[in-house]
Structure 1
């Protein structure tokens, strides 16, 4: 056991002070805490253990006018044997007696029992499989019980104890598991609105995103990652089809005017969230059509242009004004725009060609310019023998586009190995299917000319290593190992630069390494001018630009002194379920729903390669989502009974109901404030004609952990039930009241038919795992038995 300092203060105030100011943990009876520390269950240790045993006045049992009062340091054995408890609150005595062995009951306190941590084989007993398991409740993000040993785990869903990895990996932090849950419930509208909280263009990002979320998906630990991109596309297309419902103009104008220079994904996102909240938004765009890279850089076979146009039209319907063919810096200066508006956002992208000092470089063509021409309907074959230099997604788009325009030979050459290429695997596979030859491990050395001074090919030098020992880009070349390729055109796709000429004289907006320097919140060195997207980061993904756009909208609103944006209000107002649910099929459905890809011979420049999922397919894929959370169960028998008795808990700072303290969160320590200490429990008196019971199933009587527990209380008057309370223990991460069953029982006679119906209602909505379905039938039996009054 790791060394820690032990202290036993003699007052509650001193205990609170230490807990507030130091890295300390509270110890009541020690029966649970010592095991946690000894077995190295948690990734971090306290520096100090603060014992309550010397604090006077916390160990008592007494009956008062308002009920039974029990001090937090009273032992379970004292409660189990107390005549006072047995006389008026016998079920609480039974619950205390049911805990573990006499030895443990002698030391365990009621305060410690209700505050103990969750119970799970993976959490508590990791050494039996060779070492501590870093589960979601520690520093990890995976609950192994979902697909592993789960016979003792929750049958009512999981507790969200950490951010799910899909959401963590998504640059926009989309609550993916939340919208998957809504799709499973048939709530497409709700799912769409969850995405719109962070991303106004899911129909676009789903088609072009790198889908970092899928790389982080916990399903990939067992089989195939959830096909998040396909489900997102289904929702995105639904939003566009009903844009008048989802992208409405604000009901009120707020009188503030915002200018956005550039209409890439970051700028459009900022425009959407600000307009939604009543800002007047004008977007200045240099090209003939808005959309930036969405319109001009991404080929139509990946992102159909009608999708972009529909989105732009929806923004226009909201009242956003687009001034296209307006070159800021020439047609209008940034100073003029700044004077006419309350704030300005810069999203001018990276459209300039970088020069790398290659001999003959002036004879090559910039790959991005080639894509712009193609997206402007200049569909000429670039050449017969094409060499594309680069290995990213832009290079892939360039190579595939050249092939589809009729080039007989297209070779792509890049520095990286096949495994290290920055392009998405999906794009690499598509290029190979279309007979693009990919040559890895070479960097350009010189352009080769024929006798007439025209391009005849390109010479490369070997690149055995791209990254140095620290992981930084620092390629090493072998100048003597060269390769020559014949070509009549060289398309360079190895980077893009920002054109910052429009900043000349513009209040000295600070730049850094050829980009606009953006601080926290995407503010620039000039108050009121913000910047986001590629112009601040260099070329990045569309979804990263979307995330930057929302962050900029929030910052502009704060700068303008506005109230919360509408999106912030919606985010806060969205109801969150106490427990995360999932479909039982998620345990067995191993294969993802796949989108249909056109065969190579049917692919074209103006036809989308990939089909979308149908509504049933999207729902089937959403059913594969684990809705990742913790499936461990609450271990406290006392908590179950206190919840049933509607007890009150008095702390050093306030008074809480049993439900507030014991059923609001899976860790009581999270409900308690820093330095807050449980002092006393007050159990109200029961009405005449009341029968309370505690029933528990466990494998061995010497083991305190309940496989299943039912705490019940029924009041019967004139042969009918007037009050019913049922708490199920070890069926969920928190003690769970069977509210439907309780409501049904009021006014009913406690007979076999009533008991059977109540049992069915109590277990309604249960979601068994692969090995714990037995708990459902067992709980029904125990509930029926509790009604044998």
Structure 2
């Protein structure tokens, strides 16, 4: 056992002071914490342990006018032996007696029992199960019970105890599992609104996003990632079809004017969220159409221009003003825009060609410029022998576009080996399908010329791209060369920001050729903000969208107004206490694939990838684990106290039982830092009240409940007047059976009503592979509670 500091406070105030210190935990009974200290149950070992049992006055049990008062340090043995408890609250005494052995009851306290950690074999005994596991309640993000041993786990869903890896991998932190749950239920409007909290253009991102979320998907541990992109596309198209419903004009103007220079994804995102909150927004774009890279750098076969135009049109309908064909720095100066605005955002992207010092480089062509020309409908075959230098998504777009424009020979050459290429795997596959040759592990050395024109290019071997620290630091072998014939060389190995427009009275500080963005995407000039590629260098569309929202929030704070509408919506959406999932999710091992045009049908003007039909979308959403913790709440006392309507008094306040026992699956999320439980107050039951605590366990010497029923009811004139029913060990929180209570009130108790009540109690159950037996067991115990 590791060393730790042991504190014995003599008062509640002293204990609270200790608990406010870092790396400190409280010990009530000690039976739970000793395992933590001995076996390293938790990911972080406590530096200091505060013993609460020695604080005077916390171990009492007494009846007062308002009910039974049980001190936090009273032991379960005290409760089990108390004649006061037995006289009016016999079911609570039964619950205390049911917990473990007499020896354990000698030390376990009531507060320790109701505050104890969740119970799960994976969580408590990882070594028995094969060593350290990726437990969501510890430092990981996976609940092994979903696909593994789950006989004793939840039958009512999972608890969200950490950020799901799909959300964590998404730069915009989209709550993916939340909208999957809504898609499964057919609630597309609600699902769409979850998406819109962080991303106003899912019809676009679903088509072009790298979908890092799918890389993080926990299904990858077992089979194949959820096809998030296709579900997002379904919702994105749904949003565009109902744009007047989702992208509305603000109900009132706030009197502020914001100007945005550049209409890439970051700028469009900021424009949307600011306009929603009543800002007057003007967007300046030097091209003839808005959209930035969405309109000019991404081929139409990946992102149809009509999708971008429809989104821009929806923003115009909201009242966003676009001044296209207006180049800031030429047609209008930044100073003029600044003077006319309450805030300015710069989103000018990275459209400038970087030079790498390659001999003959001046004879090559910039790949991005080539894509812009194509998107401006210059559809000419670029050459016969085309060499594309680069291995990212832009290089892939360049190579495939060249091939589709009629170039018979297209070769892509990049530094990275196949498994290290920055391009998406699906883009690599598409290029290979269409006859693009990929040469991995080579860097450009020299452009060959003949009669002032390109004739070929020489590459040198690159056996290693990254150094020992993982940084980009390629190593070359000059003795190993590759020579390729070429009549055109398209360079796609990077992009730079063009910052000439910043010259003048309001020059913004730059760094390494990009605008220097401070916290909140502020620049060195008060009131000027910057977001997107112009601050980070070339990145993904979804990362630019995240930057756009961040910038909009920062601009709004700069203007001193109340939170943006999107912030209010995100704050107001309540996460469900328990996450549901489709019971069949564990058996659906393969993702539904979006339809892809055959190679021979692909072209420049129609989309390669098709959409999934609604039925397939809902089916794929059913594969989502809705990842959470499937362990169950182990407290017997909590179940019965909840059923009795107990209140919990702490060092700061008094909490209703529904909040304390079922407000969260973790007591530490309910109690504030330093807050400790002082006593539990149980109201006096009305005369004639029947109270029952019933528990099923494998062996009486083991306290862990496989299933428990706690409840009270009172009859009046033979009909149920009052009833409270709680199921224990069936979910990460004690489950209050509100529907059953509502059904039984006013009814006579008989075999028929008891059977129907049992059916209602379990109709929302979501059994796992091995714990379906709990459903029938619970029905029997509910009927037995009611006397049948």
TM-score (norm 2): 0.99
- Give the equivalent residue in structure 1 for 2:50: 50
- Give the equivalent residue in structure 2 for 1:559: 558
- Write the distance in 2 (CA, Å) between the matches of 1:284 and 1:676: 53
- Give the equivalent residue in structure 2 for 1:682: 681
- Give the equivalent residue in structure 2 for 1:199: 199
Aligned residues of 1:36 and 1:124 also touching (Cα < 8 A): no
Aligned residues of 1:41 and 1:132 also touching (Cα < 8 A): no
- Give the equivalent residue in structure 1 for 2:632: 633
- Write the distance in 1 (CA, Å) between the matches of 2:574 and 2:128: 40
Structure 1, residues 564-604: CA drift from partner, whole Å, max 9, x if none?
11101111122321111111121111111110111111100
- Write the distance in 2 (CA, Å) between the matches of 1:294 and 1:216: 25
Structure 1 residue 506 displacement after superposition? 4.1
- Give the equivalent residue in structure 2 for 1:359: 359
- Give the equivalent residue in structure 1 for 2:517: 518
- Give the equivalent residue in structure 1 for 2:94: 94
Structure 1, residues 170-193: CA drift from partner, whole Å, max 9, x if none?
001101011001111110000001
Higher mean C-alpha displacement, 10-19 vs 726-735:
10-19
Structure 1, residues 455-490: CA drift from partner, whole Å, max 9, x if none?
111111111111111111111111221111011111
- Give the equivalent residue in structure 1 for 2:235: 235
Aligned residues of 1:633 and 1:731 also touching (Cα < 8 A): yes
Q: How does 1:204-603 map to 2 (within 5 A)?
A: 204-450=204-450, 452-603=451-602
Which ranges of 4 or more aligned residues in structure 1 deviate by more than 4 Å?
none
Higher mean C-alpha displacement, 452-461 vs 724-733:
452-461
Say yes or no: does 1:716 pair with 2:705: no
Aligned residues of 1:40 and 1:132 also touching (Cα < 8 A): no
Structure 1 residue 275 displacement after superposition? 0.6
Aligned residues of 1:698 and 1:708 also touching (Cα < 8 A): yes
Aligned residues of 1:296 and 1:371 also touching (Cα < 8 A): yes
Secondary structure (helix, strand or coil) at the match of 1:126 reads coil
Aligned residues of 1:350 and 1:499 also touching (Cα < 8 A): yes
- Give the equivalent residue in structure 1 for 2:615: 616
Structure 1 residue 555 displacement after superposition? 0.6
Say yes or no: does 1:148 pair with 2:127: no
The change in CA–CA distance for 1:469 and 1:706 in structure 2 (over 3 A counts) is: same
- Write the distance in 1 (CA, Å) between the matches of 2:150 and 2:580: 16
Structure 1 residue 235 displacement after superposition? 0.3
- Write the distance in 2 (CA, Å) between the matches of 1:416 and 1:291: 31
Secondary structure (helix, strand or coil) at the match of 1:130 reads coil
Structure 1 residue 280 displacement after superposition? 0.7
Structure 1, residues 717-752: CA drift from partner, whole Å, max 9, x if none?
221110111100001101111000011111111111
Say yes or no: does 1:650 pair with 2:649: yes
- Write the distance in 2 (CA, Å) between the matches of 1:7 and 1:543: 50
- Write the distance in 2 (CA, Å) between the matches of 1:147 and 1:418: 32
Structure 1 residue 22 displacement after superposition? 4.2
Q: Give structure 2 stretches of 5+ with no counterpart.
A: none
- Write the distance in 1 (CA, Å) between the matches of 2:736 and 2:124: 26
Secondary structure (helix, strand or coil) at the match of 2:20 reads helix
Q: How does 1:640-789 map to 2 (within 5 A)?
A: 640-788=639-787
Aligned residues of 1:442 and 1:463 also touching (Cα < 8 A): yes
- Give the equivalent residue in structure 2 for 1:175: 175
Aligned residues of 1:722 and 1:746 also touching (Cα < 8 A): yes
- Give the equivalent residue in structure 1 for 2:166: 166
- Write the distance in 2 (CA, Å) between the matches of 1:329 and 1:479: 44
Structure 1, residues 189-214: CA drift from partner, whole Å, max 9, x if none?
00001100100110000100000000
Aligned residues of 2:630 and 2:732 also touching (Cα < 8 A): yes
Aligned residues of 2:134 and 2:143 also touching (Cα < 8 A): no
- Write the distance in 2 (CA, Å) between the matches of 1:379 and 1:632: 59
Structure 1, residues 509-547: CA drift from partner, whole Å, max 9, x if none?
000011000011111000000111111111100000000
- Give the equivalent residue in structure 2 for 1:83: 83
TM-score (norm 1): 0.99
Structure 1, residues 310-338: CA drift from partner, whole Å, max 9, x if none?
11111111111111111110111100111
- Write the distance in 2 (CA, Å) between the matches of 1:729 and 1:245: 43
Structure 1 residue 83 displacement after superposition? 1.6
Q: Give structure 1 stretches of 5+ with no counterpart.
A: none
Aligned residues of 2:62 and 2:69 also touching (Cα < 8 A): yes
Aligned residues of 2:122 and 2:129 also touching (Cα < 8 A): no
Aligned residues of 2:260 and 2:267 also touching (Cα < 8 A): yes
Aligned residues between the structures: 788
Aligned residues of 1:645 and 1:683 also touching (Cα < 8 A): yes
Aligned residues of 2:334 and 2:506 also touching (Cα < 8 A): no
- Give the equivalent residue in structure 1 for 2:105: 105
Aligned residues of 1:689 and 1:717 also touching (Cα < 8 A): no
